[in-house]
């Protein structure tokens, strides 16, 4: 009997990070890092795991969206699906009724991404490889076959994508060895959440420097006078050679962003992240032109590969920030990596959230080994929250991500954590001190 996909298990998992203001920024003052977590099981008894990252209220909407994808997957032949994951991606993304809810953006697109990522997790586990290695071992043609080039071919054709991959092939084994021995550079946001006091920021910056980080990011956007003061404080702490980037989390209008970055510039900024709406390609371009040589970075809330195409082709951003759980999974993120390579823009993934560090490290490592061939001007974001809840948590030493060794995408949560933080039934959410948080959610 053929091995087939069986029913999904979808769980609303929420962590009360708002208690300590972990993750706080100018647009999201009190997030509870959360996940609509899906297990895609097979009749053979194994499973793949994925999730939609959220910040609390609304996770139930993402759960419902994942449930809407379930009928498109249950009953499919597993081996046939894993043999053509490009076609599987199209099956889900192009389904006309669900596509209408985007198209190709928003909660439905993210839910499809969670399922796509879960099936990639399964593929890597069956191959006995971490996801980054499975992807890096694919031939250029196999990688090209994963991509939907509809809406991209005016900027990147399949032939161009293949040529980029073929050009990187000769050094793959050397880079694979380098990655395993030395890891991948990281920067940290853990010291710079907006809700933290100056004293806490100063202490955490000191700890980050001691841990080997040379690049720190601060949240800005609530009060420019506070931002100026805090950036100056951190510059004093990191010294003249440390890198400081800032993240406004979409808080500013275009002219406001230009004015505020000018006030922050004396602290020596490397990039300004999400200075305005993630959908505003023209606005990003105007800001980039006005604030150069400070770079403009965005991507964690960019809805799909088509918006990325516009940002990259128009030179509106100088740093592309993919997110493992915003677009429709591994396939679409590889398309974005290829676009970034075509336009020579470094990719520095977003990972500020539960589980995002775990998954996105695989994409950057694939990019290094099989596509870009460099880590120059590239870092993966690191936040030191909630890794203990994962079966295969990230390992960061000396300011560098160590290459995952276990098979899969590192997305699987510990069953005890799922039981404890399941919303609203989990024991954490039954605690009297969290009654108000639960009611507000």
pLDDT in tens, 341-365: 999 999 999 998 899 999 999 999 9
Q: pLDDT at position 434, please? A: 54
- At residue 198, φ and ψ (nearest 5 deg) are -55, -40
| pTM reported for the whole predicted model | 0.96
Q: pLDDT at position 253, please? A: 98
350 catalytic per annotation:
yes
Q: Which of 105, 284, 342, 350 is catalytic?
A: 350
Q: Which of 105, 219, 362, 387 is catalytic?
A: 219
Q: pLDDT at position 439, please? A: 47
Q: pLDDT at position 1, please? A: 80
Q: pLDDT at position 432, please? A: 61
Q: pLDDT at position 436, please? A: 46
125 catalytic per annotation:
no
Question: Are the C-beta atoms of 91 and 85 separated by less than 8 Å?
Answer: no
> In which residue ranges of the chain is pLDDT below 50?
435-441
């Amino acid at each position: 009997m053929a091995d087939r996909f069986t029913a999904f298990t979808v769980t609303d998992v929420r962590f009360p990070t708002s208690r300590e203001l972990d993750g706080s920024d100018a647009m999201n003052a009190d997030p509870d890092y959360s996940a609509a977590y899906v297990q895609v099981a097979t009749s053979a008894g194994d499973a793949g795991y994925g999730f939609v990252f959220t910040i609390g209220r609304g996770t139930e909407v993402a759960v419902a969206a994942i449930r809407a994808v379930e009928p498109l997957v249950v009953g499919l032949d597993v081996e046939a699906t894993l043999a053509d994951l490009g076609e599987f991606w199209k099956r889900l993304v192009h389904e006309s009724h669900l596509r209408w809810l985007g198209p190709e953006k928003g909660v439905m697109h993210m839910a499809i991404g969670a399922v796509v990522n879960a099936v990639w997790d399964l593929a890597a586990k069956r191959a006995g490889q971490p996801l980054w290695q499975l992807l890096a071992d694919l031939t250029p043609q196999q990688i090209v076959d994963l991509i939907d080039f509809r809406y991209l071919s005016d900027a990147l054709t399949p032939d161009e994508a293949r040529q980029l991959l073929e050009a990187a092939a000769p050094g793959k084994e050397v880079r694979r060895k380098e990655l395993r021995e030395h890891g991948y550079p990281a920067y940290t946001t853990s010291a710079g959440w907006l809700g933290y006091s100056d004293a806490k920021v100063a202490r955490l910056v000191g700890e980050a420097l001691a841990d080997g980080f040379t690049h720190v990011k601060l949240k800005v956007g609530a009060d420019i006078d506070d931002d100026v003061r805090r950036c100056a404080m951190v510059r004093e702490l990191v010294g003249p050679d440390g890198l400081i980037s800032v993240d406004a989390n979409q808080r500013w209008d275009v002219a406001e962003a230009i004015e505020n970055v000018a006030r922050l510039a004396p602290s020596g900024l490397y990039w300004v992240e999400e200075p305005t709406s993630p959908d505003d390609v023209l606005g990003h371009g105007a800001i980039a032109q006005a604030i150069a040589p400070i770079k403009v970075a965005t991507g964690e809330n960019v809805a799909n590969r088509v918006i990325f195409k516009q940002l990259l082709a128009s030179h509106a951003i100088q740093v592309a920030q993919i997110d493992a759980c915003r677009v429709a999974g591994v396939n679409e993120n590889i398309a974005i990596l290829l676009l970034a390579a075509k336009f020579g823009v470094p990719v520095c993934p977003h990972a500020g959230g539960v589980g995002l560090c775990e998954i996105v490290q695989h994409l950057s490592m694939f990019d290094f080994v099989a596509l870009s061939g460099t880590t120059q001007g590239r870092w993966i974001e690191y936040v030191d929250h909630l890794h203990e809840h994962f079966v295969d948590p990230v390992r960061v030493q000396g300011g560098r991500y160590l290459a995952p060794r276990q098979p899969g995408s590192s997305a699987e949560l510990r069953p005890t954590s799922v039981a404890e933080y399941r919303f609203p039934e989990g024991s954490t959410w039954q605690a009297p001190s969290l009654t108000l948080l639960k009611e507000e959610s």
